[in-house]
Chain A
Amino acid sequence: MSGEGTYYVPEQSKLPIFASIGLFITVYGAAGWLNGGTPTLFTVGFIMFAMVLWSWFSIVIKENLAGLNDAQLKRSYVWAMGWFIFSEVMFFAAFFGALYYMRNISLPELGGDNTTNEILWSGFKEVWPLMVTPDMAANGTSATVVGPDINMSVTTADSIFTWLPFWNTAVLLTSSFTVHFAHTALKNNNKKGFNLWLGITVALGIIFLFLQAAEYIHAYAENLKIHHGAYGTTFFMLTGFHGLHVTMGTFMLLVMWLRSVLKGHFSHEDCFGFEAASWYWHFVDVVWVGLFIFVYILG
């Protein structure tokens, strides 16, 4: 709360309408593509949308460098980023909720000693990870929804050190520390240290994504796919959305790193772009810890 009377209200801008058109073409194209069409419209829309966002962010950066942003406007950005991350938390909450519901409510009901089990899914037993779906138990070889051949749970690992999710956890948790070291270095006016630690963080993000891709390739090779019942559904939806967010987070940090290395942006008192990206990074890290516990360890 303040009122310096200098709050920057931008002039008319073409960004919002073009962003809307780009977003509209993207989703309209995506829906048409999923309904049996071609990806052309989706691709066009996505490129347009990405270009608008690119120029939007560059304009915001230029305004900041030109000194148009007073302390009050910067607080608006801080609030906005914080609430955006809260909205992301709630998005993941829906999927964690679905996992909880399946494991604690729907599967015990389907496999329980009740008429649902007796009449519809006779022979189904509730075991997690769900390798035998209710459909397989009741209908044998004529089942349409079949379970996976393998799962990624900790119980399937020979040793914790050959278990890929362990290394993924190590990589991601380390990256949360390195991004914090980068922040500390920046606050101490140590730009070299900042570039180094941020570069390491980006590298760790990319390593995580490679490991996650290896995990998916392994899963698909060994017949664990997204349509393989409740386990395939929750495993791929939770890790998939997380991976998507790590990709975005890595991209954000990479842009921050390039801005710092190539353009010399960020100082100890003006670095919110970096800070916002690092908050986002800590957020995807926390989500991973949730995933690690509920999908892999207790999975």
Chain B
Amino acid sequence: MAHGPAKGFSRWLYTTNHKDIGSMYLWFSFAMFLLGGVFALVIRAELFEPGLQIVEPGFFNQMTTMHGLVMVFGAVMPAFVGLANWMIPMMLGAPDMALPRMNNWSFWILPFAFAMMVSTLFMEGGGPNFGWTFYAPLSTTYAPPSVTFFIFAVHIMGASSIMGSINIIATILNMRAPGMTLMKMPLFVWTWLITAYLLIAVMPVLAGVVTMMLMDIHFGTSFFDAAGGGDPVLFQHVFWFFGHPEVYIMILPAFGIVSAIIPTFARKPLFGYSSMVYATASIAFLSFIVWAHHMFTVGLPIAGELFFMYATMLIAVPTGVKVFNWVTTMFRGSMTFETPMLFSIAFVILFTIGGFSGLMLAIAPADFQYHDTYFVVAHFHYVLVPGAIFSITAGVYYWLPKWCGNMYNETMGKVQFWLAFIGLNVTFFPMHFVGLAGMQRRVPDYNQFFADFNMISSMGAFLFGAAQLMLLYNVISTIMSGKKATDEVWEDPEGLEWTVPSPAPYHTFSTPPPIK
């Protein structure tokens, strides 16, 4: 085993080191985050005022589509995989990931997949314009020719996700240091174990549904064509059978990150560890039986509406357990409010707001009113931005000193938090109101009636975007020249990652550490 990283750029191309690969995932995801953010700002700039001023409606559709696809598959998922790569071997006392070469392959597929997907914007007929959920027949009969490239991009990024997940599961089940029993694992590892299971279960279904699209488009099959006996609604069923677990794929690792951070800054052990594990597993199980709550308005039989309504509401129970545990962990703790903690507390509060609007949407008769309005946009941005994005940001601030050996600038971190916090609420909170008042999503023009709230949303979006540049600056300046971090970094944090020097050596645990 080599003792340090190889020299030059080939280090990154040929690496088998989980830390190198984790860093590449994180940088790639941040680049995609900025790209998806630019798409979002195009949308918000167009919606700044009613009427059409900046982009054509067709291009607007491409922007809403690409924003969703890039954020989900390019920003959030790879960021979590990057954190998993960095942290899971260190948290388990393992020398590396179980299958290091496949690990690098999982990463390097992604830049090619996204180059292919983004290149469709420059193809004849434009890029995907059918929404990130690519419902048939918009994505089949009425799609631009570039949809074929989109389909294959989804195929290979799915292959990347499956290989990444297999690697994570093999690492967790096989690479733990002696004495590291399953119920001693940090929650971040637990949530990733369950997330990886979800990914392996549903990414092939996504591959199946895009294959059906491909066949309908190029080989005349009738999956989504009623003329031949198929049904466009079949697309929605298969897509959301993937799509709903996918939503939890984007939030379960966030639960793990927050469950690591809150105890550190509350200076108390996590309340209800085992109930957290069981709650995570319950959420994963429920995620397979709630998919049709995305489809209440397609004409499901009443029994279906009721089943999916109640099943969806059940999710509030394990989620409530988690929120209760985080709050109870903080209760009477001696809390301090460093940047990771600020992001984590904001996560708990704002994610709960997003959860409540989710409960409103779960009520089938009410959803007939909310469906495809900005209320839905507000809901899922409240769970994804302060959920996934805030937790990733919290995790980066929390572990960055361990990764690079330098402490970030705390003041700048706190300023960035408040800018992001204010920006996100100013952007997304008014969307609840315009949505309830009837403004549809994915439309470039709107009634003057919604003008004020939209203008506020757009201003918030640009503020939120600016805050991300500050994060980038803070991270880069920390890596280049921060003040030296201690090995423990924080005050008596839990976990094996804090027992190794900062920065963590290139190969952490060549021999397994003792586990208490």
Contact = CB atoms under 8 A, between A and B. Distances in A.
B152 A72 contact: no
B222 interface: yes
12 contacts: A13-B104, A16-B105, A20-B112, A34-B214, A72-B174, A95-B212, A101-B231, A121-B226, A134-B227, A227-B220, A230-B228, A233-B230
A87 to B, nearest CB: 5
Given A16-B108, A80-B99, A102-B230, A94 B511 contact: no
Given A87-B203, A90-B205, A31 B152 contact: yes
A79 B98 CA distance: 10
Q: Which of A5, A35, A130 has the most CB of B within 10 A?
A: A35
A23 B105 CA distance: 11
Interface in B78-127: 93-96, 98-102, 104-105, 107-109, 112-113, 116
Interface stretch (A105-113, A180-188, A205-213, A263-271): A105-113
A118 to B, nearest CB: 14
A149 to B, nearest CB: 15
Nearest to B202: A90
A144 B227 CA distance: 8
A135 interface: yes
B221 A226 contact: yes
Contacts, number: 229
Contact of B177 (A3, A121, A229): A3
A262 interface: no
A28 B149 CA distance: 7
Contacts of B151: 31
A9 interface: yes
Given A1-B180, A28-B149, A133 B227 contact: yes
Contacts of A144: 227
Given A16-B101, A87-B203, A233-B230, A34 B148 contact: yes
Given A3-B177, A28-B116, A79 B148 contact: no
Nearest to B155: A27
Contact of A35 (B148, B208, B230): B148
B425 interface: no
Contact of B98 (A2, A30, A76): A76
A86 B202 CA distance: 10
A227 B107 CA distance: 37
Contacts of B2: 11-12
Contacts of A79: 98, 166, 169-170, 173-174
A120 interface: yes
A17 interface: yes
A110 B226 contact: yes
Nearest to A20: B108
B207 to A, nearest CB: 6
A228 B153 CA distance: 28
Contacts of B338: none
Interface in A74-98: 75-76, 79-80, 83-84, 86-88, 90-91, 93-95, 97-98
Contacts of B108: 16-17, 19-20
Given A106-B230, A226-B221, A230-B229, A12 B6 contact: yes
B218 A34 contact: yes
A13 B230 contact: no
B3 to A, nearest CB: 11
Interface residues of A, number: 70
Interface string B218-254: 1111110111111101100110010000000000000
Given A17-B14, A107-B229, A237 B104 contact: no
A87 B149 contact: no
Interface residues of chain B: helix, strand, loop or mixed (majority): helix
Interface in B402-455: none
Nearest to B152: A27
B57 interface: no
Interface in A116-145: 120-121, 130, 133-135, 143-145
Contact of B220 (A10, A12, A91, A226): A226
Contact of B13 (A11, A17, A86, A134): A17
Contacts of B159: 23
B229 A98 contact: no
Given A93-B208, A120-B226, 9 more contacts: A20-B108, A76-B99, A90-B200, A91-B204, A91-B207, A102-B229, A110-B229, A226-B221, A236-B221
B283 to A, nearest CB: 19
Contacts of B76: none
B95 A7 contact: yes
B484 interface: no
B506 to A, nearest CB: 11
Contacts of B237: 97, 101
B317 interface: no
A199 interface: no
Given A24-B156, A94-B208, A233-B221, A9 B16 contact: yes
Contacts of B113: 24
A56 B510 CA distance: 25
Given A10-B100, A90-B205, A135-B228, A98 B223 contact: yes
Contacts of A72: 174-175
Interface string B256-273: 000000000000000000
A15 interface: yes
Nearest to A139: B227
Contacts of B208: 91, 93-95, 98
Contacts of B173: 1, 79
A23 B98 contact: no
A93 B205 CA distance: 8
Interface string B170-203: 1101111110100000000000000000001111
Contact of A1 (B13, B99, B174): B174
Contact of A83 (B96, B166, B212, B219): B166
B201 A90 contact: yes
B145 interface: yes
A104 to B, nearest CB: 11
A72 B2 CA distance: 20
Interface in B1-38: 1-2, 6, 10-11, 13-16
Contacts of A34: 148, 214, 218
A145 B227 contact: yes
B14 A12 contact: yes
Interface in A45-73: 56, 72-73
B512 interface: yes
Given A3-B511, A5-B511, A12-B14, A83 B233 contact: no
A236 B215 CA distance: 11
B204 A94 contact: yes
Contacts of B16: 9-13
B207 A9 contact: no
Contacts of A3: 93, 177-178, 511-512
The 4 closest A-B pairs by CB, nearest first: A94-B208, A227-B220, A230-B229, A3-B512
